[in-house]
Amino acid sequence: MADLQKKATRESYGEALAELGDKYENLYVFDADLAAATKTGIFKKKFPERHFDCGIAESNMMGVAAGMAATGKIPFASTFAMFAAGRAFEQVRNSIGYPHLNVKIGATHAGISVGEDGATHQCNEDIALMRTIPGMVVINPADDVEAKAAVEAAINYEGPVYMRFGRLAAPIFNDPAAYKFEIGKGITLREGKDITIVATGLMVYEAIQAAETLAAEGIDAGVINIHTIKPIDEDLIAAAAAKTGLLLTVEEHSVIGGLGSAVADVLAQRQPARLVKIGVNDEFGHSGPAVELLKQYGLCAENIVAKAKEALNK
Amino acid sequence: MDATLKKQLEITAAKIRLGIIEGVFNAKSGHPGGSLSIADLMTYLYFAKLNVYPDKPDEPQRDRFVLSKGHTAPALYSTLAEKGFFSKDELKSLRHIGALLQGHPCITIPGVDMSSGSLGQGISVACGMALSGKLTNDTYKVYTVLGDGEIEEGQVWEAAMFAAHYKLDNLVAVVDNNGLQIDGKVEDVMSPYPIAEKFEAFGWHAVACDAHDFDSIEAAFNEAETVSGQPTVIVMKSVKGKGVSFMENNVSWHGAAPNKEQYDQAVAELTAHLKELEG
């Protein structure tokens, strides 16, 4: 596994837009002075007439995208997660969510793996914010293959979609030939009977590694990849809860309102089971190299292993 | 403007004002002041300007209208009902539970092109619609109406910058300058003045007009038609509460419904005016 290729999902996003631009002539891309960072610049290079910079004005960008969608275009609006879900929350809610317009939000630089820029730019709240908006689909892809598939699925879905991409290069563990993406359907990556690790985004690969370590120590851990946090795959989660009775969620996001909370909702209402949540606790991030930060905040295979063993009293 | 058309518009405007009072009275809440100040503008737009089709509300090449000052939904609803997008009876259940007509414009209502009400957002959506039309050489034009208090929202100026940058000459924004907002006179609360000069500084063409004179309104929109390469703003001097004596220039009617006695008086005044017009 050590020799897996790596690519940041923001890069996958920009490449996917450029690749799909020919097939979907109705696709337009908006950015807020971050095209080089969000990677929509890749699309801009190929389709300069279909890429629009809105300047540093995210609120207006969301409204412009809404107007484009209301007149039949498929707009992608891109900026950092902090500004898409945070600064422009109310525009996304009222101008996109309420009229249920066909806007795709490509939010990059999510989570603490933003790294050196520090807390002001490390958005650990976007999943929580976006999933409260009625009718909003929330997708958090784990690698290049999944991110590209998610972009095309979003184009083919009629309605608002929030997509979360990362800055840090992530291992490409999915096989492009075999991979299938379906909005709202989780993916079982590994069966296990002792505990089920439910992961999303950058944490999915960490979960896979953790499960291997646990297996070597005699603990049979299952791994589920929840790429769509809303609508969440309730059946898959309930089935895992029934099978193992113990779930461990892992996300590069606040433990308040994200994947862990969404899974807790399913457990409470469908299939009560024990739940351990790994994520960013009720605190802000800070500056530092992404990989070191992830370790410091316990967003790594080692901590998943430790928490799983603790939960199993082993 | 042709005298016959002008007379007809004045009659229609009186009916639209009656519908506004009907809606707000039955809702027991809502915003009559700013609805009445744009009643003549709405009449001009829907009965002399916009290409819209009550029998085909979703016609792709229809002109688009976004009521950025969404709290004055009674004016939009009364106009759409008068135009035939839905029954005037709907005004009687404005804001009621289960009713078609929501407190603020909702895109699912026939004839409503965009949900609005959170101030400052409608103009951005109008920009998106205008840009969209330019990209595919559509023939429609986009019109939006903002309040003079609304332009205190920063997003309005983000949108103003955007519209000029992308040369959206198929976009006309009207600022309803009735001079009052909830907390008082706009210049006392947070002065937006000078309005025309601000938009001009952002790259817009600015025109002034009298909100209650159809010749003046028409002249402003005609001027907007001649502008190319930049969006136009029409700074429209209006009287809040126009047409109902006790509501005129009185800020307490920004967001309050008349009681039965006040309703009767308002209806009597507007009906008398209508009868006078109809001769």
Kindly list the residues from chain A whose CB atom is less than 8 angstroms away from the CB atom of residue B127: 60, 63-64, 67
Residue A285 binned pLDDT confidence (cut-offs 50, 70, 90): very high
Rounded Cα gap, residues B257 and B241, in angstroms: 12
pTM above 0.90, yes or no: yes
Outline which parts of chain A fall under CATH 3.40.50.920.
187-311
Nearest to B67 by CA among B142, B153, B160: B142
Report pLDDT for A3: 82
| Marked catalytic residue, from A15, A58, A234, A252 | A58
CATH architecture, domain defined by A187-311? 3-Layer(aba) Sandwich (3.40)
- The CA-atom distances, in angstroms, between B70 and each of A28, A145, B119, B144 are 28, 43, 7, 10
Nearest to B212 by CA among B3, B5, B2, B14: B14
Nearest to A110 by CA among A303, A292, A285: A285
Smallest Cα distance from A100 to chain B, Å: 9
Concerning whether A310 is annotated as a catalytic residue, the answer is no
Outline which parts of chain A fall under CATH 3.40.50.970.
6-171
| Average pLDDT along chain A | 97
Report pLDDT for A1: 52
Tens of pLDDT along A286-307? 999 999 999 999 999 999 999 9
Instruction: At A224, give phi and psi (nearest 5°).
Output: -120, 135
| pLDDT of B58 over the 60 cut | yes
Q: Which domains does chain B have, with CATH numbers?
A: 3-278 (3.40.50.970)
HSE of A7 in the Cβ direction (CA atoms, 13 Å)?
20
Tens of pLDDT along B89-114? 999 999 999 999 999 999 999 999 99
Say yes or no for a CB contact (<8 Å) between B60 and A75: no
Is any Cβ of chain B less than 8 angstroms from the Cβ of A82? no
Is any Cβ of chain B less than 8 angstroms from the Cβ of A89? no
Strand extents, DSSP E, A220-273: 221-225, 228-230, 246-254
Is any Cβ of chain B less than 8 angstroms from the Cβ of A72? yes
CATH architecture, domain defined by A6-171? 3-Layer(aba) Sandwich (3.40)
ipTM metric:
0.97
Q: How many CB pairs under 8 A join A and B?
A: 105
Residues linked to residue A14 through DSSP beta bridges, in sequence order: none
Smallest Cα distance from B4 to chain A, Å: 35
Q: Evaluate whether B159 touches B107 at the Cβ level (below 8 Å).
A: no
Residue to mutate among A62, A64, A89, with most B CBs inside 10 A, is A64
Rounded Cα gap, residues B209 and B212, in angstroms: 9
What CA dihedral angle connects B239, B244, B245 and B248, to 10 degrees? -30
Residue B49 binned pLDDT confidence (cut-offs 50, 70, 90): very high
Of A54, A73, A94, the CB nearest to B121: A94
Residue B150 binned pLDDT confidence (cut-offs 50, 70, 90): very high
Nearest to B248 by CA among B239, B238, B260: B239
Q: Evaluate whether B203 touches B261 at the Cβ level (below 8 Å).
A: no
Of B125, B138, B161, the CB nearest to A66: B125
Report pLDDT for A120: 97
Residue B190: count other Cβ atoms within 10 Å of its Cβ: 11
Mean pLDDT of A208-215: 98
Mean pLDDT of B117-142: 98
Smallest Cα distance from A9 to chain B, Å: 28
